[in-house]
Amino acid sequence: MANNVAVIGICSVFLVAVVVAVVVGVSQTHTKEESDSKSNSISSSNKAVQAVCQPTHFKDACEKSLASSNSTDTKELIRSSFQAAIEEVRKVLANSTTIQDLNKDDNNREALKVCQEVLDLSIDDLQLSFDKMGEYDMSKIGDYLLNLRVWLSGALTTQQTCVDTFAEVSNEQAEKMKLVLKTSMELTANALTMVTKLSTVLKDLNIPGLDGIDTTGFERKLLSNDGPEWMGHAERKLLQAPIIKPDVVVAKDGSGKYDTITKALEEVPKKSPNRFVIHIKAGIYKKQVILTKDMINLMLICDGPTKTIITNDLNCIRDHLRKTFGTVTIGK
């Protein structure tokens, strides 16, 4: 029963234990007198902020972003770090003078379009991390923390993609964008560090109820009928079916409902809780395929790697305004 704790509020206790362990490890050479002296001058909320920020690489940015939180709840402080990163990315998109300056010629405008798209994806990953902080039971803490690390890594990667895209314009423009995104990237990296530190330290705390539980997300072995934590019963059943019935069929020879993938994608319901299956029959489809972020339960099945071929010839040489990010064959 201890391994099936469903109330994630207990996670706060674990998080507190982790950051305390981290702080103790860093401060063990200090004398008791020094510790008592500091405790008299620092408020409880400031202590909690310092504890949460201790393992991060950008402590100043961390403490500044959490300074107004007025909370000693470690879980809420970590959630606040996610929220701070979200707000910083939004601020970059909405109010940056540098962004406006970079919008003055066609080449920069194309790079800016990519930035706006990927930063929007970064916000989504950060928001997902924020929302999911509090939904997993402790018996699946490893999967939970691994998911957070994946989403936070994605948020950091998309911000770097923005910088890399401006590097295709000029190194000077890339440096400007790097400066604009400095705080948001630091805050995102800090959030990732907090979660990573938690997953590596949690195992060593000898907490009752966590015996034998994978706290990293990497130790679980998949069985033949198993799958990732996010894959529910319906998805597993679908993959095990000998024949998967599609909702829409795409065929170059006219035997399907559509002859292009793009037309079929127009039927995909937005943010649907149900799986939508598109069967793409054998043929060569010379068209870029863009899967929008609201196609959250889409499944594409084909007739084989040498039979169903999706390709395009978009490139940055022929179209000098196009950026590398925009040449993807299948992308989001």
Average confidence (pLDDT) over 224-244: 66
Q: Confirm if 267 and 259 have CB atoms less than 8 A apart.
A: no
Distance of alpha carbon 196 from alpha carbon 190, whole angstroms: 10
Lowest-confidence pick of 15-19, 55-59, 139-143, 319-323: 15-19
Give CATH 1.20.140.40 domain extents, the chain: 2-205
Q: In the prediction, which pLDDT does 136 show? A: 58
Q: Residue 77 pLDDT > 70, yes or no?
A: yes
pLDDT beyond 60 at 86 = yes
Which class for 119: exposed (0-12), middle (13-18), buried (19 or more C-beta within 10 A)? buried
Which long-range contacts does 66-69 make (Cβ < 8 Å, 24+ apart)? 69/45
Taking residue 325's Cβ as centre, other Cβ atoms within 10 Å add up to 21
Q: Which of 94, 109, 108, 148 is nearest to 125 (CA)?
A: 148
Q: Average model confidence (pLDDT) for the chain?
A: 79
Band of pLDDT at residue 195, cut at 50, 70 and 90: confident
In this predicted structure, the answer to whether residue 14 has a pLDDT above a threshold of 50 is no
Superfamily of domain 2-205: Invertase/pectin methylesterase inhibitor family protein (1.20.140.40)
31 three-class SS? coil
> 15 by DSSP, 3-state: which?
helix
Which letter does DSSP use for residue 8 in this model?
T
Tokens 């699946």 -> residue: 140
Cα distances (Å, whole numbers) of residue 209 to 8, 44, 203, 205, 254: 14, 29, 11, 11, 59
The model's pLDDT over 281-329, given as tens digits with 9 standing for 90+, comes to 999 999 999 999 999 889 999 999 999 999 999 998 888 889 999 999 9
Q: Is 285 helix (H, G, I), strand (E, B) or coil?
A: strand
* pLDDT at residue 42, as a whole number: 53
